[in-house]
Amino acid sequence: MYSNVWQIGWRNREERIVIFTWRRPQRQPRPNRGRHASWDADGVPPGERLFSVSTHAKIRKNGESGDSVDTRDMELFLTIARCKSISKTAETLFMSQSTVTTRLQRLERDLGYAVFDRLPAGVELTEAGLHLLPLAEQVQRIVREMSSKERFQTPTLRVMSGRAFVSTDVPSCLSRMVQKINVRLQVQMGLYDEMVEALTMRRVDFCFLGEPIYHPHVRSIEFPADAIDLVVPANHPFIHHFPGLCALNQEPFIAFSREGAPFRERIFQLLGKAGVFPPIRMELDSIDGIKAMIGHGLGVSFLPRRTLADARFKGCAAISMNSSDWTRPTFLAYPEDVEDKPWTQQFIQVVRQHFATISPAEGIPETPLSMQRKDLAHAPTHE
């Protein structure tokens, strides 16, 4: 059943839009969309447009199966309307112009009409766009109200993370958090640009990132950096003698994530400075997948040290670069408007406690090379 129903009308237009949401998150039975659909019991006549306030807004037109309109696209529409420019919108939201254009085209396609006229100096709302503007603003307010934590007895902590953090630091931090307060958890993985967008659009409360975010409405806290180690098969000759980075020019390389991803860019910038350009055999966006591939002898790679606790069990070995350059930063980012929330400071304190317990060498499995270095460090000296 509905927890709330809003009815929003467009002035001088016949259609009426009903926005509704369910109290329970589980899937609800779909109503009969046929000729005898009976929405009257719930106060919603058949054939009207329906927006479901959750992650997406569902539109039904004239009783037919309609398109799915993402409320995030409505927020993008409002930003473009304020900026009056695709390029300025992209700059404001830290998105590429192509992404803004693609999502705007998707919104117009789903709505069935153009909302902007493209001009040489920017964009201008069409007549249909002017009618949509006040409705979109009301939808945005309702979505924010429905997602407000004050509406629920149990607050929801929304966390987004890169793949490296979600398998290492995030579980520990969330475990500490639920021991302090009763909180629901929503966790999702994302790429850097997806996390930037989620923060600026207020869709998440915290993001764990390996690169900083420079945005006036986003706050960041830097934590101890994570070392980046060379990961090789357990029987690789490099374990006993690593001749240096130049040797990687002859090694098949497994690249993490897609081109342009911050971690991958960092690795290839460091290799490029050393004049090293390894042949890329494979691209993979899963850290566990990369370790499995390395364990089967398909290549070598560089990974954050804290992700390598299970490397030995996957048939891999880690070789330290012993350089402060070979590190990956660690940042916790959050929107500025949640900074004064009590649970915000609690979670920040939890994250501080987590990183305070991490040893710089944590996660490195011992190899003959590392054991040899340890033995030399503890060997007695002879005068």
Say what the pTM is: 0.57
Burial code (b: 16+ CB inside 10 Å, e: under 16) for 352-376 equals eebeeebeeeebbbebebbeeeeee
How far is C-alpha 260 from the chain's CA centre? 15
Reading the chain (383 residues) residue by residue, the pLDDT tens digits are 333 334 444 433 433 444 444 333 444 444 444 444 434 333 434 433 334 334 444 444 444 444 567 788 888 999 999 999 999 999 888 889 999 999 999 999 988 899 999 998 899 999 999 999 998 888 888 877 776 655 556 778 999 998 889 888 999 999 999 998 888 899 999 888 889 999 998 899 999 999 889 899 999 999 999 999 999 999 999 999 999 999 999 999 999 888 878 899 999 999 999 999 999 999 998 899 999 999 999 999 999 999 998 999 999 999 999 999 999 999 999 999 888 887 889 999 999 999 998 865 544 434 444 433 334 333 343 33
- pLDDT score recorded for residue 368: 40
- pLDDT score recorded for residue 126: 94
Crossing angle, helix 86-93 and helix 71-83, to 10 degrees?
120
- pLDDT score recorded for residue 378: 38
d(CA 54, CA 27): 12
d(CA 96, CA 32): 41
- pLDDT score recorded for residue 155: 79
Domains defined along the chain, listed by start: 2-147 (1.10.10.10), 152-383 (3.40.190.290)
Sign of CA dihedral 125, 129, 131, 137: negative
- pLDDT score recorded for residue 240: 92
For residue 22, give the 3-state DSSP assignment: strand
- pLDDT score recorded for residue 321: 93
d(CA 41, CA 61): 20
d(CA 178, CA 43): 40
Q: How far apart are the first and last CA of the chain?
A: 84
Token output for 45: 């006549």
d(CA 107, CA 57): 11
Residue 331: partners with Cβ closer than 8 Å, 6 or more residues away: 208, 209, 210, 211, 212, 213, 220, 221, 222, 223
